Amino acid sequence: MQIELQNLGKRFSRQWIFRKISYTFTAGNAYAIVGPNGSGKSTLLQVVAGAVEKSEGNIIFQDGSTRLAPEIHFHQISLAAPYLELVEELTLKEFLLFHHSFKPFSSAFSVPFIIEYLGLQAAAHKQIRYFSSGMKQRVKLAQAVFSDVPVVILDEPTANLDLDGIALYQQMVKDYFTDRLLLIGSNDEEEIKMCSGRLNVNDFKRW
């Protein structure tokens, strides 16, 4: 999978967050989206994911020689971010099954495997509302990483994680991104040290 940004821009009201971003992301690589706090890293990731509408330019998804229609881009992407909410009335097992029903996990990963991988076996039947912030972040990472999609977007992936959680994130990246496209929004070098490319949103400020 390849994603090409062509003169991409986003504004809120009269304020441009970024303009004229042209960049190409290719499968098998990890890319860091960096920039000062408030520079628009999360906004750019949400625009690429289709969660926020762009204001100008194009986003082209290319699967081999096939250019994908914009209305099916979301099928290719999973997103994890601290600001995204989980369905807290569900238990962990119920939530993972619910997620699997609309964005299936890879056939190699069963729900029991994912729960064990996260180290949350004791909480499998516990409502997510009672999880700590670190436990919730582990679940958010898992639903993105184990989804059967070619593109994974992680925004501040180690937010709320302790040292064990950070080690788990780093292991996930090592084990499950050899042939996929990974975008990481962060300024933390420990989160993005595996990235082969960097896009600094602050380089695309236009007023």
Q: How confident is the model at residue 51 (pLDDT cuts 50, 70, 90)?
A: very high
At 10-24, the pLDDT tens digits run 999 889 999 999 999
- Sign for the pseudo-dihedral over CA of 165, 171, 176, 181: positive
Helix or strand or coil: residue 72? helix
Distance CA 3, CA 74 (A): 12
Match domain 2-204 to its CATH number in 3.40.50.300, 3.40.630.10, 3.30.70.260, 3.30.1330.10: 3.40.50.300
Q: What is the pLDDT of residue 134?
A: 97
At 82-121, the pLDDT tens digits run 999 999 999 999 999 999 999 999 999 999 999 999 999 9
Instruction: Output the pTM of the full model.
Output: 0.93
Q: What percent of the chain has pLDDT over 90?
A: 91
Burial of 51 (0-12, 13-18, 19+ CB in 10 A): middle
Please give the mean pLDDT across all residues of the chain. 95
Distance CA 157, CA 167 (A): 12
Q: How confident is the model at residue 206 (pLDDT cuts 50, 70, 90)?
A: low
Q: What is the pLDDT of residue 10?
A: 96
